[in-house]
């Protein structure tokens, strides 16, 4: 076991874990941050997406030791002052989920996309989020939610 101080959603969290344990397991099983989902466990679905220094990363493939110096953002860290982020709100407004299992990964990827490209075309959204799988097939609503979020007046700084 090794000791780590992880920067998660702005807080410094102490955790002991084997260095090779996945960030996904550490977040869910040791830090009780269960918004990050375990889908395939092998890098194929993006349900486990978190942001590392603002960039989407598959936490199932990321050893906790590799994330120790990064600013980690999980879905729990997106709301501010008890208010959903514009992307989260847009997913609610568009009903962009059924079972919701893919949703946190989708929301985090969309958040990263809109920080990089504030007004993406439909094609840019589809291309950027191509690796995020939704077994419920809510893709059209997900794209609509990202488009809605891109038009949100509240989005500045708080995707
Ligand atoms: S659980 Fe990580 S990519 Fe599927
Ligand atoms: S809403 Fe069920 S997997 Fe996407």
- Please, what are the domains in the chain? 2-76 (3.10.20.30), 86-150 (1.10.150.120)
> 139 CA distance to ligand 2 centroid (A)?
9
Q: With bands split at pLDDT 50, 70 and 90, how would you rate the model's confidence at 153?
A: confident
**Residue 134: both structure tokens together:** 């939704």
136 lines ligand 2 (CB under 6 A): yes
pLDDT tens digits for 73-102? 999 999 999 999 999 999 999 999 999 999
Q: CA angle 13-109-136, nearest 5°?
A: 110
- What SS3 class is residue 117? coil
Instruction: Give kind and range of the element (H or E) at residue 73.
Output: strand 71-73
pLDDT band at 114 (very low <50, low <70, confident <90, very high): very high
pLDDT given at position 155: 57
What is the overall mean pLDDT for the chain?
95
Average pLDDT over residues 27-56: 98
Choice from 38, 44, 96, 98 to test ligand 2 binding pocket (greatest atom count within 8 A of CB): 98
Q: 82 — alpha (psi -120 to 50), left (phi > 0) or beta?
A: left
């Amino acid at each position: 076991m090794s000791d780590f101080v992880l920067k998660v959603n702005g807080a410094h969290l102490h955790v002991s874990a084997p260095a090779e344990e996945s960030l996904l397991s550490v977040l869910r099983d040791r830090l009780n941050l269960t918004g990050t989902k375990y889908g395939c466990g092998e890098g194929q679905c993006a349900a486990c997406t978190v942001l590392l220094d603002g960039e989407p990363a598959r936490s199932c493939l990321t050893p906790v030791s590799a994330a120790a110096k990064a600013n980690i953002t999980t879905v729990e860290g997106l709301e501010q002052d008890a208010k959903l982020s514009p992307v989260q709100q847009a997913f609610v407004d568009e009903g962009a989920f059924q079972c919701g299992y893919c949703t946190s990964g989708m929301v985090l990827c969309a958040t990263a996309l809109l920080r990089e490209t504030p007004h993406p075309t439909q094609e840019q959204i589809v291309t950027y989020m191509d690796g995020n799988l939704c077994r419920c097939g809510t893709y059209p609503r997900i794209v609509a939610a990202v488009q809605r979020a891109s038009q949100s007046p509240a989005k500045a700084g708080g995707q």
